[in-house]
C-alpha cells in the first residue's frame, strides 16, 4: 500500500506521523519534564527565601559581636564611673540571679598616698543562695575595670523571730577603684 501512494501523499502521511509522534512525546515525556523544571524553580525560590532568613542570623551575630567589642573599648568619663560600675555589677548580679543593693557613700582612703592616687572604696550588698553568690564572685573576679575586691563578708542574718533568712545568704562586698 505504501508503494501505491504517490510522493505527495507520502509526505503528508510522514508529516502527520511526525506530528502524532511529537504530540505523544510531549504528552508522556516533555510535559512532565517541563512541570518538573517549574517545580524545581519554585522550590529553589522558596529555599532561597528561607536561606535569606537564616543567612541574616550570622550577619546579625557578627554585627552584635562588633558592637559588643566597640562598647568594651569605649572609655567613660570619671564622672560616669559610678553609673558604669553600678551597671556592670548589677548586670552580673542579675545574670547570676542574685539581689543587689548599693551603698552610695564613697569612702576615700585616709592615707596621703591613697589620696594622691584617688583610691575609692564602694560597698555592695548581695542576697542569694551560696552557689549563685560564688558564681557572682567568680564572674566579678574575671571582669576588668570594676576594681579589686578588697573585703568580703558572708553572713546568714536571722529574722526577728529567730528563723533563718528566706532570701539565703548576705554578702557584703567592698571594691577599691583608682580614679584616673
| Helical pair 130-142 and 81-95, crossing angle rounded to 10 deg | 140
Residues 126 and 168 in one domain: yes
Of 25, 45, 70, which residue constitutes the final position of a domain?
A: 70
> pLDDT by residue (tens digit) across 134-164?
888 888 888 877 777 888 888 887 655 555 5
Residues 169 and 86 in one domain: yes
> pLDDT by residue (tens digit) across 118-138?
667 788 888 888 888 888 888
Closest C-alpha among 131, 166, 136, 167 to residue 149: 136
Provide the pLDDT confidence category of residue 103 given band limits of 50, 70 and 90: low
Domain range for 63 is 2-70
What pTM value is reported for the model?
A: 0.47
Domain count, the chain: 2
Residues 20 and 41 in one domain: yes
Report whether pLDDT(114) > 50: no
Of 38, 70, 102, which residue constitutes the final position of a domain?
A: 70
Q: What is the pLDDT of residue 40?
A: 93
> pLDDT by residue (tens digit) across 3-52?
778 888 888 999 999 999 999 988 888 888 888 999 999 988 888 777 66
Q: What is the pLDDT of residue 93?
A: 86
Please, is 132 exposed, middle or buried when counting C-beta atoms within 10 Å of its C-beta (0-12, 13-18, 19+)? buried
Amino acid at each position: 500500500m505504501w508503494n501505491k501512494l504517490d510522493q505527495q501523499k507520502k509526505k503528508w502521511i510522514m508529516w502527520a506521523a511526525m506530528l502524532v509522534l511529537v504530540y505523544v512525546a510531549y504528552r508522556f515525556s516533555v510535559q512532565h519534564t517541563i512541570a518538573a523544571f517549574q517545580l524545581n524553580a519554585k522550590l529553589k525560590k522558596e529555599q532561597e527565601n528561607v536561606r535569606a532568613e537564616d543567612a541574616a542570623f550570622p550577619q546579625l551575630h557578627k554585627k552584635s559581636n562588633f558592637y559588643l567589642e566597640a562598647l568594651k573599648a569605649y572609655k567613660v568619663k570619671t564622672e560616669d564611673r559610678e553609673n558604669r560600675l553600678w551597671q556592670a555589677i548589677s548586670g552580673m548580679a542579675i545574670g547570676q540571679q542574685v539581689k543587689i543593693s548599693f551603698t552610695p557613700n564613697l569612702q576615700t582612703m585616709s592615707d596621703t598616698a591613697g589620696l594622691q592616687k584617688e583610691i575609692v572604696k564602694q560597698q555592695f550588698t548581695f542576697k542569694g543562695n551560696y552557689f549563685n553568690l560564688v558564681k557572682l564572685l567568680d564572674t566579678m573576679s574575671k571582669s576588668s575595670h570594676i576594681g579589686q575586691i578588697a573585703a568580703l563578708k558572708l553572713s546568714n542574718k536571722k529574722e526577728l523571730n529567730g528563723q533563718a533568712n528566706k532570701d539565703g545568704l548576705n554578702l557584703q562586698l567592698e571594691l577599691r577603684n583608682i580614679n584616673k
